[in-house]
Amino acid sequence: MSDWVIEAEGITKVYRMGDIEVHALRGVDVRIARGEIVSIMGPSGSGKTTLMNILGCLDRPTSGSYSLDGSQVAELGDDQLAEIRNKKVGFVFQSFNLLGRQTALTNVELPMRYAGVSNDRRKRAMEALEAVGLGDRVKHRPNELSGGQQQRVAIARALVNNPSMIMADEPTGNLDSKSGVEIVQILLDLNKNLGTTLIFVTHDPEIAAHTKRVISLLDGLITEDRIVET
């Protein structure tokens, strides 16, 4: 078995809006190895989010082949995709997407509930929150937390099921630069300690500077894929 977490070839995505076809991705080939840290960069509308959604199994490509952790995604049904999102992928969104009425703790428990974990759910959620430095905020609701803290809860939620990769779509986009740096640092530590593959979608060269590999997209095509020497 290869050690590629992601092996995608000829990925296209076409959105149909009435008579107009929007070619968001026009043949993307990308392989990402286990434990890699990758930035996907590019101007607005270049297809970054679209690509990330497909790689994270939130969406299906119009054509192309994609295998994640060795399984061909095209062959999987909706429930199996849900299971992949649940167990293998952790998402971190620009707008946090926490459940507003739930505490930090229950927000972090959510993926484990869908995974059917019932025994040490609370304990594992606590550990995840401690790992992102929020051990003292577990009973807070999102509106009682700062933006940076909310994003840390979202990271705790993303890592609680021990996914093989975390996908972060502009995770610092709604944060000031200081908490942005903290967020990136938490994710980088995660990679260092657990070997979790990290994929950042970002406009921010600062973040890209932390990653060893930068993939540049333009109009749905990869224009550059370079390894940054540090």
Partner 1 sequence: MDLWRIVLEALDSLASNKVRSALTVLGIVIGVGAVIAMLAIGTGAQNTITGSISGIGTNLLFVMRGGNDEVRNPQPLTLGDAEAMRDSFAAPSVIGVAPVLQGSAEITFAGEGDIVAAVGVTPEHESVRNIEITEGEFINEIHVLGRSAVVVLGPDVAETLFGRTESIVGESVRIEGQPFRVIGITVAKGGQGPSNEDNQILIPMSTAQTRLFRRSGSDQVDMILVQAINADGVITAEEEISAILRNRHRTAIGEDDFTTFSQQSFLQVAETITNVFTIFLGGVAGISLLVGGIGIMNIMLVSVTERTREIGLRKAVGARKRDIMLQFLAESALLSLFGGLIGIVLGWALSMLIGAISAASNADINPVVGIDAVLLATIFSAAVGLFFGLYPAKRAADLEPVEALRYE
Ligand X SMILES: Nc1ncnc2c1ncn2[C@@H]1O[C@H](COP(=O)(O)OP(=O)(O)OP(=O)(O)O)[C@@H](O)[C@H]1O
Q: Which stretch binds Mg ion (CB under 5 A): 44-52, 61-69, 78-86, 215-223?
A: 44-52
- Answer yes or no whether residue 216 interacts with Mg ion by CB under 5 A: no
- Answer yes or no whether residue 18 interacts with partner 1 by CB under 8 A: no
- Answer yes or no whether residue 114 interacts with partner 1 by CB under 8 A: yes
* Cβ 178 vs Cβ 102: under 8 Å: no
- Buried b / exposed e over 63-98, threshold 16 CB at 10 Å, is ebebbbbeeebeebeeeebeebbbbbbbbbbbebeb
- CA proximity to 69, closest of 227, 196, 215: 196
Six token digits for residue 17: 């809006």
How far apart are CB 197 and ligand X at their closest, in Å?
20
Name residues whose C-beta falls within 8 Å of residue 98's C-beta, 6 or more positions apart in sequence: 104, 107, 142, 150, 153, 154, 157
Q: Which stretch binds ligand X (CB under 6 A): 15-23, 59-67, 112-120, 144-152?
A: 15-23
- Answer yes or no whether residue 47 interacts with ligand X by CB under 6 A: yes
Six token digits for residue 82: 């849900």
Q: Which residues in this chain contact ligand X in the complex, by CB under 6 A? A: 15, 17, 22, 24, 42, 44-50
Q: Which residues in this chain contact Mg ion in the complex, by CB under 5 A? A: 49
Q: Which residues in this chain contact partner 1 in the complex, by CB under 8 A? A: 53, 56, 58-59, 78-79, 82-83, 85-87, 91, 93, 97, 99, 101, 110-111, 113-116, 118, 157, 161
